[in-house]
Amino acid sequence: MKRIVIQTSLIATLTVAATALTAYDADAATRPITSGTGWKLQSHITHIDTKPWQIAFHDTTSRTKLTPYLRKTAAELTYRMGVTVTVSTRIVPTSYSKCGPSHTISVRYMSKPNPKYPNHSFGGACALRGAAYSGYMYINSDLWAAGRGYTEAQRMNTIWHEAAHAVGLAHPNTCPKDKTGRKPLMCDVNGLKTLVSRRYSTWEVPAFANLRANRNRV
């Protein structure tokens, strides 16, 4: 009888443990997924909602110069996130210290937007209750300057990179290489000269997928 009691106790313990593990896993499955191998979301952003976004411009010069590039970016973001992104003709002042209008990414084309890092462009996003709300992009016009040696692919990669920041992606913690030797697009912040695809890499695919899927996990 004693042996039976011990076995029953052990079975009960294992049953409780299995139940607890199942409950824990179920809870984990509903929590936002904000990072993975070669990708990460910004710390204040968990998801993006379904409302359409527009890309606007700081001024007419920015609009004239960058519209052809951003049409490609808008189409790619729409495809990756399942949220409609279009390029408008709107003039919306770009600011990194004040959030812009709802569901708008404002883009500015200017020389050395960050004097501390004169070769860089930059971008970022605002959030409301964890949802990407608006964004900004400063694209360094020196990428088009004569004698600087930048290619169209490098310019386009810069725009892909900053647009991803504008909807909530961050620089990942690690920068692995896939079987073809490609690093995440969101890793390369020094002129993006090592990337030539003009598209987000396979590393960014789960980032955009989770940005979208997290709508149902929050």
CA distances to 5, 24, 25, 26 from 29, in Å: 36, 9, 6, 5
Q: Is the model's pLDDT at 74 over the cut of 80?
A: yes
Mean pLDDT of 34-49: 96
Residue predicted with more confidence, 62 or 24: 62
CA-based nearest residue to 55, from 80, 95, 84, 79? 84
Torsion of CA 150, 187, 87, 100, to 10 degrees: -120
3-state SS of 150-174 is CCHHHHHHHHHHHHHHHCCECCCCC
Higher pLDDT, 151 or 84: 84
Measured between alpha carbons, how far apart are the two ends of the chain, in Å? 50
Distance CA 10, CA 16 (A): 10
Q: Look at the alpha carbons of 170, 175, 178, 182 in this order and tell me if their dihedral is positive or negative.
A: positive
Q: What average pLDDT does the segment 80-92 reach?
A: 97
What is the number of other CB atoms lying within 10 angstroms of the CB of residue 186?
23
Q: Is the pLDDT of residue 195 over 70?
A: no
- Stretch 44-57: mean pLDDT, rounded? 97
Say yes or no to pLDDT of 11 above 50: no
**Sign of torsion over alpha carbons 186, 89, 57, 133:** negative
Report the predicted TM-score, pTM, of the whole model to 2 decimal places.
0.84
SS3 59: coil
All domains of the chain in start order, with CATH: 39-216 (3.40.390.10)
Residue 105 sits at φ, ψ, to 5 deg, of -110, 115
Q: Report which of residues 218 and 76 the model is more confident about.
A: 76
Whether residue 192 contacts residue 106, with contact meaning beta carbons closer than 8 Å, is answered with no
User: Residue 54 is which amino acid?
Assistant: Q
